[in-house]
Each structure stands twice: as C-alpha cells, then as structure tokens.
Amino acid sequence: MTRILLYSSEPVLAQGFSSVLAGNSDLRLVGVIGTTDKLGIAVETEKPDILLLDLTSDVSFQLLRELKKSSDTCKTLLWVNAISTELAFQAMGLGVRGIVRKTLPVETLMECLRAVDKGDLWFEKGLTESMLSARKVSLARREGQLVTLISQGLKNKEIATALGVSENTVKVYLSRIFSKVGVKDRFELALYGLRNVAAGQGRLDEPVRRSRGLHGAPGTPPVQGLSSLLLDGLR
C-alpha cells in the first residue's frame, strides 16, 4: 500500500483527489495539509511514501530543503499547472522525484504515483529536453547573493549594505556577472534571477528587510544566494 500525503490550499482540488484515490486499492491518502507551516510535522508524523505537493506561491526552495531533511524515505512529487525549466531544474536538485501537470488524465496521474513510489523519476519529455539543452552557469557565493538581491529590486547602495561591502565592490561584481552570464544590464540579469529563485519569488527575506531600514540585532544571518543560473528561453 502506497501512503500519500497531499498539500493543497484548494479544498475542492483536495476532495477531488481523495475521490479519485478511493477507487485504487494500492494507493491510500493518509492526510491533506492546507498550509505549508504544518507540512514538516505531517511528514514526520504520517510517514508517507509520497508527498504530492501542489505548487502554490507558498512553496519555496527553502521549504523543499526542509522537507528533504524531514524524511529520507518520502518522495516529493510536484503537482503543477505549469513550471519553468529553471524552477524544475532547481527542484530536481533539491530531491523532487517528479513533476506532473494537473491537466493530465487521472490514469496518468495514478501511473505517475506508482512509478515514483517504485523509485522512478517522472519528468515529461519536453521538460527533460529543455533542462538538458539549457546552459548552466555556476555562481560563486557572493555572485549568487548579488543576483538574488538584484532580482528583489535592490539598488547598489542597498546591496552594499546587505552584503557588508562598498558600492564600488558591488559594481565590480556586477560587471563580472554580466560578462559571465552574457547579459547587457541589470534588468536582464534580474529576469534570469527571478526565473531561478523559489516559487515564492520576489518576497524579501529577513536580512534584506533589515538592510532597507527594518532594524534588527547585530550579526544577521547571511543573504541566501543562488549557486547557479539556468539560462533558457529569454532570448
């Protein structure tokens, strides 16, 4: 019996999925979670074989990292309307075992659940080909932090404050990144950055909030940055 835990903030979607599973003797729904803040506890308590994760705006890379730590045996499957190549690539790197569209037939969804439970990966051919053909650019720690802050709309002075460096240093890093990535300005770099960050993109994390005048205690944690950029489809 394959135990499945569903995260979805849409009650109708959750009820429909529950009804579909009722006709399958080898698949069992052990719970439905409507908010991401309870997911980690639910994974540890219910010990599901598969976590079917509705890709809402509350699902971030940080959440995927935390869920991966919660259980070594639970396989995470993203349930999406659509997904970018960049987000799919990053999610796969965080242990996601498959990505399935909500528009697929019920029989295909059931096939996907069974395949992932057996240890297979489930990525559609078009998405796999897109990931394989895209160019990946590795970023140094400081470069990744800077791309993240650029994507959040910060100016050079704000970036310098957040990173604890001078504005001239920020300009030097920007020039290097432009050349490395192959972009002509910060707007194009921000577009790439936004397509590579978490599903909850655009929200300021705590260190950046403090750099914009929301005062906090000294020794704030470092700004989280991307380790790489997947360059696909903007040109």
Fold of 135-231: Arc Repressor Mutant, subunit A (1.10.10)
| Strand 98-101 with 135-138, pairing | unpaired
Determine the pLDDT at residue 228: 75
Grouping H, G, I as helix, E, B as strand and the rest as coil, residue 135 is strand
Tell me the pLDDT of the chain (235 aa) as tens digits.
999 999 999 999 999 999 999 888 999 999 999 999 989 899 999 999 999 999 988 888 788 888 888 888 899 999 999 887 777 877 887 889 999 999 999 999 999 999 999 999 999 888 887 777 777 788 888 998 999 899 888 999 999 999 999 999 999 999 999 999 888 888 888 888 877 764 333 333 334 444 444 333 344 456 777 777 777 654 4
Tens digit of each residue's pLDDT (9 = 90 or more) over 47-90: 999 999 999 888 887 888 888 888 888 999 999 998 877 778 77
- Paired with 89 in beta bridges are none
Nearby residues of 58 by Cβ (< 8 Å), 6 or more positions away: 9, 35, 36, 199, 200
Determine the pLDDT at residue 218: 43
Angstrom CA distances, 38 to 35, 66, 97, 101, 206, stand at: 6, 12, 21, 24, 21
Q: Give me the count of residues in the chain.
A: 235
Contact 197, 151 (CB under 8 A): yes
Determine the pLDDT at residue 235: 44
What ranges do the domains of the chain cover?
2-133, 135-231
Contact 134, 231 (CB under 8 A): yes
Q: What is the DSSP string of 34-91?
A: -SGGGHHHHHHHH--SEEEEE--TT--HHHHHHHHHH-SSPEEEEEES---HHHHHHH
Determine the pLDDT at residue 88: 83
Nearby residues of 226 by Cβ (< 8 Å), 6 or more positions away: 139, 144, 147, 148, 193, 196, 197
- Please give the Cα distance from 212 to 198 (Å, whole number): 21
Structure tokens at 232: 């696909």
Tens digit of each residue's pLDDT (9 = 90 or more) over 13-29: 999 999 999 888 999 99
First to last CA, the chain: 47
Nearby residues of 120 by Cβ (< 8 Å), 6 or more positions away: 97, 98
The DSSP H or E segment spanning 6 is: strand 2-7
Residue 91: count of CB within 10 angstroms of its CB: 24
Q: Which CATH class is domain 2-133?
A: alpha beta
